[in-house]
Amino acid sequence: MKKFGLLLAGGIAALILISNLGPLFGLAISLLVLYFILKQFLKTDSTFKKIAWGTLGLFILMAAASNVPAILAIFAAYVLYLVYKKWNEGESTTSYKNDDPFVNFEKQWSELKKF
Protein backbone atom coordinates (compact mmCIF):
# COMPACT_ATOMS: atom_id res chain seq x y z
CA MET A 1 0.00 0.00 0.00
CA LYS A 2 2.92 2.34 0.72
CA LYS A 3 4.34 1.74 -2.76
CA PHE A 4 0.95 2.54 -4.31
CA GLY A 5 0.83 5.88 -2.49
CA LEU A 6 4.37 6.70 -3.61
CA LEU A 7 3.49 5.71 -7.17
CA LEU A 8 0.37 7.88 -7.10
CA ALA A 9 2.21 10.90 -5.66
CA GLY A 10 5.04 10.45 -8.14
CA GLY A 11 2.63 10.18 -11.06
CA ILE A 12 0.78 13.34 -10.10
CA ALA A 13 4.06 15.20 -9.56
CA ALA A 14 5.36 13.99 -12.92
CA LEU A 15 2.22 15.21 -14.70
CA ILE A 16 2.48 18.61 -13.03
CA LEU A 17 6.17 18.84 -13.93
CA ILE A 18 5.58 17.90 -17.56
CA SER A 19 2.65 20.31 -17.93
CA ASN A 20 4.73 23.19 -16.56
CA LEU A 21 7.93 22.63 -18.53
CA GLY A 22 7.24 25.59 -20.81
CA PRO A 23 6.95 28.14 -18.00
CA LEU A 24 9.97 26.54 -16.33
CA PHE A 25 12.13 27.07 -19.40
CA GLY A 26 10.69 30.56 -19.85
CA LEU A 27 11.56 31.44 -16.26
CA ALA A 28 15.09 30.08 -16.63
CA ILE A 29 15.74 32.01 -19.84
CA SER A 30 14.25 35.26 -18.53
CA LEU A 31 16.27 35.03 -15.30
CA LEU A 32 19.41 34.38 -17.30
CA VAL A 33 18.75 37.42 -19.52
CA LEU A 34 17.92 39.47 -16.42
CA TYR A 35 21.27 38.49 -14.88
CA PHE A 36 23.17 39.70 -17.94
CA ILE A 37 21.14 42.94 -18.02
CA LEU A 38 21.99 43.53 -14.36
CA LYS A 39 25.68 43.00 -15.08
CA GLN A 40 25.53 45.52 -17.94
CA PHE A 41 23.56 47.96 -15.78
CA LEU A 42 26.21 47.86 -13.06
CA LYS A 43 29.06 48.10 -15.57
CA THR A 44 27.91 51.21 -17.46
CA ASP A 45 28.59 54.81 -16.38
CA SER A 46 26.27 56.69 -18.73
CA THR A 47 22.94 57.85 -17.30
CA PHE A 48 21.10 57.21 -20.56
CA LYS A 49 22.46 53.65 -20.75
CA LYS A 50 21.50 53.04 -17.12
CA ILE A 51 17.93 54.15 -17.87
CA ALA A 52 17.85 51.97 -20.99
CA TRP A 53 19.20 48.91 -19.17
CA GLY A 54 16.85 49.55 -16.25
CA THR A 55 13.83 49.77 -18.54
CA LEU A 56 14.83 46.62 -20.39
CA GLY A 57 15.43 44.90 -17.06
CA LEU A 58 11.95 45.91 -15.89
CA PHE A 59 10.39 44.38 -19.02
CA ILE A 60 12.35 41.15 -18.56
CA LEU A 61 11.39 41.07 -14.87
CA MET A 62 7.73 41.27 -15.88
CA ALA A 63 8.32 38.43 -18.33
CA ALA A 64 9.87 36.37 -15.53
CA ALA A 65 6.94 37.17 -13.24
CA SER A 66 4.52 35.89 -15.86
CA ASN A 67 6.10 32.44 -15.53
CA VAL A 68 4.88 31.91 -11.96
CA PRO A 69 3.57 28.38 -12.75
CA ALA A 70 7.21 27.38 -12.97
CA ILE A 71 7.23 27.42 -9.16
CA LEU A 72 4.76 24.52 -9.31
CA ALA A 73 7.15 22.69 -11.61
CA ILE A 74 10.04 23.21 -9.19
CA PHE A 75 7.88 21.95 -6.32
CA ALA A 76 6.79 18.93 -8.38
CA ALA A 77 10.42 18.12 -9.18
CA TYR A 78 11.20 18.23 -5.46
CA VAL A 79 8.28 15.91 -4.71
CA LEU A 80 9.55 13.52 -7.41
CA TYR A 81 12.97 13.57 -5.73
CA LEU A 82 11.40 12.75 -2.36
CA VAL A 83 9.32 9.93 -3.87
CA TYR A 84 12.41 8.49 -5.56
CA LYS A 85 14.35 8.69 -2.31
CA LYS A 86 11.57 6.99 -0.29
CA TRP A 87 11.09 4.33 -2.97
CA ASN A 88 14.76 3.36 -2.91
CA GLU A 89 14.94 3.64 0.88
CA GLY A 90 12.45 0.80 1.26
CA GLU A 91 14.46 -1.50 -1.02
CA SER A 92 17.91 -0.76 0.37
CA THR A 93 17.09 -1.57 3.97
CA THR A 94 17.03 -5.33 4.14
CA SER A 95 16.32 -6.56 7.60
CA TYR A 96 17.81 -9.96 8.14
CA LYS A 97 18.94 -11.62 11.30
CA ASN A 98 22.58 -12.46 11.37
CA ASP A 99 23.35 -15.42 13.62
CA ASP A 100 27.08 -14.93 13.49
CA PRO A 101 28.15 -14.19 17.10
CA PHE A 102 31.23 -12.24 16.03
CA VAL A 103 29.21 -9.75 13.97
CA ASN A 104 26.84 -9.19 16.90
CA PHE A 105 29.82 -8.83 19.25
CA GLU A 106 31.44 -6.24 17.01
CA LYS A 107 28.18 -4.29 16.79
CA GLN A 108 27.73 -4.31 20.56
CA TRP A 109 31.38 -3.44 21.11
CA SER A 110 31.10 -0.40 18.82
CA GLU A 111 27.98 0.70 20.73
CA LEU A 112 29.84 0.38 24.04
CA LYS A 113 32.80 2.36 22.73
CA LYS A 114 30.52 5.30 21.88
CA PHE A 115 29.88 5.95 25.57
Q: What is the pLDDT of residues 34-92, one digit of tens each?
A: 999 999 999 999 999 999 999 999 999 999 989 888 988 999 999 999 998 988 875 55
Please, what's the b/e burial string for 78-115 (b: 16 or more CB within 10 A of its CB; e: otherwise)? ebbeebeeeeeeeeeeeeeeeeeeeeeeeeeeeeeeee
Counting the structural domains of the chain, the total is 1
Look at residue 101 and tell me if it is in a domain: no
Look at residue 102 and tell me if it is in a domain: no
Query: Taking residues 2-20, what's their average pLDDT?
Result: 89
Look at residue 108 and tell me if it is in a domain: no
Look at residue 105 and tell me if it is in a domain: no
Domain that holds residue 11: 2-93
Please, what's the b/e burial string for 37-62 (b: 16 or more CB within 10 A of its CB; e: otherwise)? beeebeeeeeeeeeeebeeebeebee
Look at residue 76 and tell me if it is in a domain: yes
Look at residue 115 and tell me if it is in a domain: no
CA 104 to chain centre: 40
Q: How confident is the model at residue 93 (pLDDT cuts 50, 70, 90)?
A: very low
